[in-house]
Structure 1
Amino acid sequence: MNDDDHLTPGGPGPGPLPGEDAFADALLEEELRQAAAVLDPVPAELLQSALDAFAWHGLDAHLAELTFDSLVDALPVRGAMAPPRMLTFRAGELTVDVEVTGDGLIGQLLPPQSARIEVLGGPPPARPVSTDTLGRFTSDTPPTGPFALRLRTGADVIVTEWLRA
């Protein structure tokens, strides 16, 4: 091997320069992103759902943990064809009980308090609802696909875990 072998194409050579592979990988990744954007664009509804999912990521939002899900925790009831799904979330001292039916959501905050509730997910996006004096709420839009609830209770923002409808 002589000193000129690294200059001949296909010769043994020293290999790519430092950073050359990373640059080529980044260039290929960008070309693939552009091709995917043209050939298989992300549906607007999916993009909005992703933005809504990330929306709770604020410093002022608290995550409400799922503590009961009738699909997992309840015993089956004999003769019940399609029982509603019952969910319970907890964030600090606040409990959110929710019944998911084919007609929408019915729920209650305990202890009762005033709140504005948004069903995140979609499409179609559900209109926000407010609790009554007993902390009860009803949404006439059943959730489809992944969904979560965002509660605004005075100065607090609470978001439930995401679940599949």
Structure 2
Amino acid sequence: MDDMDDMDDMDGTGHAGGGDGVPGGDAFDDEEFDHGSLEEELREAAAILDPVPAELRQLAVEAYALHDLDARIAELTFDSLVDAIPVRGAVDVPRMLTFHSGGLTVDVEVTAHGLMGQLLPPQPASIEVLAGPRAGAALTADDMGRFASDAAPVGPFALRLRTGGEVVVTEWLRA
């Protein structure tokens, strides 16, 4: 082999190899690389090393199943944990929440003993308390828009209201 052929085999670092800086290697060809098998191997490794808890998987499935495409989202506009001025010495104060969606306002008071609320303008409605994997508690708002539940929500929760032909879902909150 002559000196010019030896120079062609050098990668610029004094090592024999391809032009990619890897001794003895060819340039990495992304088109020939099988991304599908790499993704599958990574999924298998994650499933073994850091599996998704069954409860979280169930919550995700049920949250997706509860998704109403026609439902309007009631936006949280007041939360006493964030917006209210704390009262010195007050203990076990209820959490006050206000949601708005279009012309509907939902006021909710959450305590350790349950929740109660009112729809404004006052109107009858069926209400579900959505709370993760448990079946939602069914409530009914009377003609004055008032509703109550003896069970306090635990963990993330939302309310789904059905007023006439309209469905409104509140934002999810942590109790």
3-state secondary structure, aligned to 2:122: coil
Which among 135, 152, 171 is matched to residue 142 of structure 1? 152
Deviation at 1:123, TM superposition (A): 4.7
3-state secondary structure, aligned to 1:90: strand
Q: Distance in 2 between matches of 1:139 and 1:32?
A: 46
Which among 136, 144, 149 is matched to residue 126 of structure 1? 136
1:53 paired to 2:63: yes
Q: Is the 8 A contact 1:65 1:161 kept in 2?
A: yes
Match of 1:16 in 2: 29
Deviation at 1:56, TM superposition (A): 5.8
Q: Distance in 2 between matches of 1:19 and 1:159?
A: 48
Aligned-partner residue type, residue 107 of structure 2: D
- The two structures, once aligned, show a CA RMSD in angstroms of 2.5
1:94 paired to 2:107: no
Higher radius of gyration, 1 or 2 = 2
Cα deviations across residues 44-69 of structure 1 (Å, max 9, x unaligned)? 43234323433564331101011110
Give the stretch that moved more between structures: 86-95 or 125-134: 125-134
Q: Distance in 2 between matches of 1:44 and 1:133?
A: 41
Q: TM-score, normalised by structure 1?
A: 0.80
Which among 29, 33, 36 is matched to residue 43 of structure 2? 33
Distance 1:78 1:117, change over 3 A: same
1:77 paired to 2:87: yes
Match of 1:153 in 2: 163
1:107 paired to 2:117: yes
* Equivalenced residues, count: 158
Give the stretch that moved more between structures: 94-103 or 143-152: 143-152
Q: Distance in 2 between matches of 1:131 and 1:51?
A: 28
Q: Structure 1: where are the runs of 5+ without partners?
A: none
Distance 1:16 1:52, change over 3 A: same
Q: Is the 8 A contact 1:69 1:87 kept in 2?
A: yes
Deviation at 1:79, TM superposition (A): 2.1
Match of 1:68 in 2: 78
Q: Distance in 1 between matches of 2:164 and 2:40?
A: 44
Identity of counterpart residues, as a percentage?
62
